[in-house]
A and B are shown apart, each in its own frame.
Chain A
Amino acid sequence: MNYETVIGLEVHVELATNSKIFCSCSAHSFGTDPNEHVCPACCGMPGMLPVVNKRVVDFGMKAGMMLNCDINRVTTFDKKSYYYPDLPAAYQTTQWFAPVAVNGLVEIETSKGKKGVRIKQIHMEEDAGKLVHDIREDTTHVDFNRTSVPLIEIVSQPDLSSAEEVEAYLERLKTLLRYAKVAECEMAHGTMRCDVNLSVRPEGSDKLGVRAEMKNMNSIEAIKRAIEYETARHIDAIENGTEVLRQETRRWDDIKGKSYAMRTKETAGDYRYFPDPNVMPVVIDDEWFDSVKDSLPEFPEVKREKYISLGLSEYDATRLADSIAIAECFEDAFKVCNNAKEAANWVISDVTRVLNAKGMTYEQLTLSGKALGELINLVLDSKVSRANAKKILDALFEDESLDPVKYAEENDLVMSNDTGLVDKVIAEVIASDPKAVADFKGGKEKAIMALFGKCMKQLKGNVDPQTLRTMLIEAINKL
Chain B
Amino acid sequence: MDRETLRRLELLNQLKLTEDEKQDVLSFFELREGEHKCLEAIDTENTERMVHVLPVMTVVREDKVVKTFEREDLQRQAPETDEGYWCVPKVME
Residues of A within 8 A of B (CB): 17-19, 23-27, 33-40, 43, 51-57, 74, 76, 81, 83-85, 97-98, 131-133, 135-144, 262, 270, 272, 275, 279-283
CA distance A77 to B7 in the complex (A): 28
Give the chain B neighbours of A280 by CB distance below 8 A.
52, 56-59
| B59 close to A83 (CB less than 8 A) | no
Chain A contacts of B13 at CB under 8 A? 81
- Residues 70-91 of B contacting A (Cβ, < 8 Å): 71, 74-75, 80, 82-91
B contact residues, range: 35 or more
Q: Nearest CB to that of A270 among chain B residues?
A: B12
Report if A24-B88 is in contact (Cβ < 8 Å); known contacts: A57-B60, A280-B56: no
CA distance A282 to B51 in the complex (A): 10
Known contacts A18-B65, A39-B69; is-contact A281 B56 (Cβ 8 Å): yes
Chain A interface SS verdict (over half): loop
Task: Tell me the complex Cα distance, A52–B60, Å.
Answer: 5
B84 touches A54 (CB 8 A): no
Chain A residues near B3: list those with CB within 8 A.
none
Q: From A90, which residue of chain B is reached at the shortest CB distance?
A: B14
Q: Does B39 contact A (CB under 8 A)?
A: no
B88 to A, closest residue via Cβ? A85
Residue of A nearest to B12 (CB): A270
A140 CA / B91 CA spacing, docked (Å): 6
B58 touches A279 (CB 8 A): yes
Give chain B's interface secondary structure class: loop
A84–B59 Cα distance when bound, in Å, is: 29
Q: How far is the CA of A138 from the CA of B86 in the complex (A)?
A: 13
Q: Is the CB of A35 within 8 A of B74?
A: yes
Contact yes or no, A35 B84, CB < 8 A: yes
**Smallest CB-CB separation from B80: which chain A residue?**
A139
11 contacts between A and B (CB under 8 A): A17-B63, A18-B64, A24-B61, A52-B60, A54-B62, A55-B63, A131-B91, A140-B91, A142-B88, A275-B51, A281-B51
A19-B66, A139-B87 known, 5 other contacts, Cβ within 8 Å: A33-B84, A135-B83, A135-B85, A140-B89, A144-B86
Q: From residue B44, how far is it (CB to closest CB) to chain A in Å?
A: 15
What's the nearest-Cβ distance from chain B to residue A150, in Å?
9
Indicate if B18 sits at the interface (CB-CB under 8 A): no
Who on chain A is nearest to B77 by CB? A45
Distance (whole angstroms) from the CB of B52 to the closest CB of chain A:
5
Q: Which one of B65, B68, B90 contacts A138 once the chains associate, using CB atoms below 8 Å?
A: B90
B6-37, CB under 8 A of A: which get 1 and which 0? 00100011100000000000000000000000
Report B-chain residues with C-beta under 8 Å of the C-beta of A279.
58
Which 9 A-B pairs give the minimum distances between C-beta atoms? A141-B85, A55-B63, A280-B58, A54-B60, A283-B57, A24-B66, A139-B87, A34-B84, A142-B86
Roughly how many angstroms separate A143 CA and B82 CA in the complex, as a whole number?
A: 11
Q: Does B69 lie within 8 Å of A24, measured CB to CB?
A: no
Residues of A within 8 A of B64 (CB): 18-19, 24
Contact B86 A76, beta carbon cutoff 8 Å: no
